[in-house]
């Protein structure tokens, strides 16, 4: 079976959503004097993106989930935002670690939304690489702060 075609606007905007994290990482590596500011910006943006994913899940569930499945999906939908909020309350190195793990564990819910007919057919093809890229970027920023 071939990979579903992701609508171009969703693909390009999704990829553009990686740019702030990429920029933060590059600044952290290239400009040590700006490392703290870049870390703060990177951490804050990643928290916003995690919350956005949760909000997307909420919207999908509210629109298409069965009444039986809706409480589970709505509960899952608030978790990324709550965990991201906690990530910005701890030291940046720890926060990046929390966010790296968070992004790494988002795909199973995206897969479930797809398989239960709650998300569009292309959802997982978009969300999986974006979540894994965000996880890798957060882990890289944590490592920059360690070394």
Q: What is the pLDDT of residue 3?
A: 81
Q: What is the pLDDT of residue 1?
A: 64
Regions of the chain with pLDDT less than 50: none
Domain extent listing, the chain: 8-146
Contacts of 66 (CB under 8 A, 6+ apart): none
Q: In b/e form, how buried is each residue of 32-55, taking b as 16+ CB within 10 angstroms?
A: eeebeebbebbbbbbbebbbebbe
Distance CA 100, CA 78 (A): 17
Location of structure tokens 């700006």: 34
pLDDT digits (tens, 9 = 90+) for 21-41: 999 999 999 999 999 999 999
């Amino acid at each position: 079976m071939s990979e579903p075609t992701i609508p171009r606007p969703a693909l390009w905007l999704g990829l553009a959503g990686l740019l702030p994290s990429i920029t933060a990482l590059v600044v952290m590596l290239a400009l040590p004097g700006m490392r703290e500011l870049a870390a703060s910006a990177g951490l804050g943006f990643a928290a916003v993106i995690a919350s956005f994913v949760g909000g997307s899940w909420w919207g999908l569930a509210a629109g298409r989930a069965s009444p039986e499945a809706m409480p589970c999906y709505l509960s899952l939908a608030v978790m990324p935002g709550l965990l991201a909020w906690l990530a910005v309350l701890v030291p940046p190195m720890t926060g990046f670690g929390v966010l790296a793990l968070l992004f790494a564990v988002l795909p199973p819910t995206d897969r479930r939304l797809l398989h239960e007919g709650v998300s569009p057919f292309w959802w997982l093809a978009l969300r999986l690489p974006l979540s894994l890229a965000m996880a890798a970027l957060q882990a890289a920023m944590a490592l920059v702060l360690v070394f």
